[in-house]
Amino acid sequence: MGGAALARTRRGAPAGGGAVRTASSRYRWGSVAPVIVLVALFTLFPLAYAAWTSVRGVLLTQPGSTPFVGLDNYADVVRGSAFRGAAENSLLFTAVSVPLVTVLGLAVALLLNQHLPGVGALRVLVLLPWSIPLVSAGIMWRLLLHGNFGALNGALLQLGIIDHDVPWLSSPRLAMFSVIAAHLWREFPLPAVLFLAGLQTIPASVLDAARVDGAGTWQRFRFVILPLLKAPLLIVLVYETMISIAVFDLVYVLTGGGPGTATTLISWLAYVITFRFLNLGQGAALSFLISLAILALISLYIRIVRVEGERP
């Protein structure tokens, strides 16, 4: 991972000879201070404030009263009627979308690594879903999946695959998978680009040697290519897990958490508690629980990948 590279270069870069003046301490701090002030203002203070809020009863509907309630907000939010459903939804969403995004990204990378006419154009196209605002991606998918005039139903009817409109977004079961489909479309480019870069660093001679030794396509993939993609794989798993737990914009425009609570993911619930119910204390508590879950999952991945091979 990057941290190792950074540490390595730091150690490997001794002060370069007596001729070089090191910059003055004023320059050093002057050059980093603006960034530190800006980042601290919008992260440290908000974080401390959110921590304070999470142990107080803060309801915008009852201004002027913020009693200390200890961990009650945490307990209440977990015991609340919506939490269980949202946690399950997020678990399902993450458990389906992270592997799908990873596998699709890897498959696309393998395809883009072939020498075929048109691959250059595909490499350009692949960045497009990733580059646009998430809300516009969500709205585009709503145009596709709309139950009454969506393009997907139109195409399926035209091809005779279905004989009546499918309620992609208004059936509780289908809505979740519609959100996952839109998320997949939006998220696969980044893994594809990272895996493709990894593939391009594998020397052809290594693959040729494996072929000479009698390794088939699958064996070459499993035992030569995959181990060499461990670094991007870890990054992709960590990043995509964070993204799928934090997914928000997409739900906002695609389903609004519905129908009912069918697509109420955990971060959407945090938004609803904070900004619709105006219960800032519980909202902050839930946000911290989400952060904890993300950190736990990340450390789990890092452990798994470390155990798999001696170096990530």
Partner 1 sequence: MKSRRALRRALLAVAGFALAAFILAPFLWALSASLQTESALFKRPPDWIPRPFTVANYNYVLTGKVPAAYEQRGLLRSPITQEARLLPWGLQNSLLVALGVVTLNLVLGTLASYTFARERFRGGRLALLFVLGSRLLVPVAVAIPIYMILQRLGLLDTKLALVLVHGAFTLPFTIWVLTLFFQAIPREVEEAAMIDGCSRFSALRRVVLPLAAPGLAAVGSFSFLFSYNEFLFALLTTSTVRSKTIPVMISAISVNPDASYTLISVGIIMAIIAPIAVALVFRRYIVSGLISSLGERT
The residues near 45 (Cβ < 8 Å, ≥ 6 apart) are none
User: Are residues 156 and 166 in contact, defined by beta-carbon separation less than 8 angstroms?
Assistant: yes
User: Are residues 143 and 150 in contact, defined by beta-carbon separation less than 8 angstroms?
Assistant: yes
For partner 1, which residue of 177, 221, 252, 277 counts as binding (CB under 8 A)?
Answer: 252
CB of 184 to partner 1, least distance (A): 9
Does 114 interact with partner 1 (rule: CB under 8 A)? yes
Beta bridge partners of 279: 59
Please choose, out of 62-70, 221-229, 246-254, 302-310, the segment that lies near partner 1 by the rule CB under 8 A.
246-254
Could you tell me which of 131, 151, 156 has the C-alpha nearest to residue 140? 151
Return the number of the residue (255 or 262) whose C-beta is nearest partner 1.
255
**Separation CA 182–CA 188 (nearest Å):** 10
**Separation CA 18–CA 15 (nearest Å):** 8
Task: Please work out the total of residues on this chain that contact partner 1, with binding judged by CB under 8 A.
Answer: 103
For partner 1, which residue of 237, 287, 301, 305 counts as binding (CB under 8 A)?
Answer: 287
Please choose, out of 88-96, 110-118, 171-179, 204-212, the segment that lies near partner 1 by the rule CB under 8 A.
110-118
Return the number of the residue (14 or 70) whose C-beta is nearest partner 1.
14
Cα 208 to chain centroid distance, Å, stands at 35
Does 128 interact with partner 1 (rule: CB under 8 A)? yes
Does 131 interact with partner 1 (rule: CB under 8 A)? yes
Does 212 interact with partner 1 (rule: CB under 8 A)? no
Does 223 interact with partner 1 (rule: CB under 8 A)? no
Tokens for 48, please give them: 């401390």
Could you tell me which of 255, 260, 69 has the C-alpha nearest to residue 180? 255
Does 136 interact with partner 1 (rule: CB under 8 A)? yes
Does 133 interact with partner 1 (rule: CB under 8 A)? yes
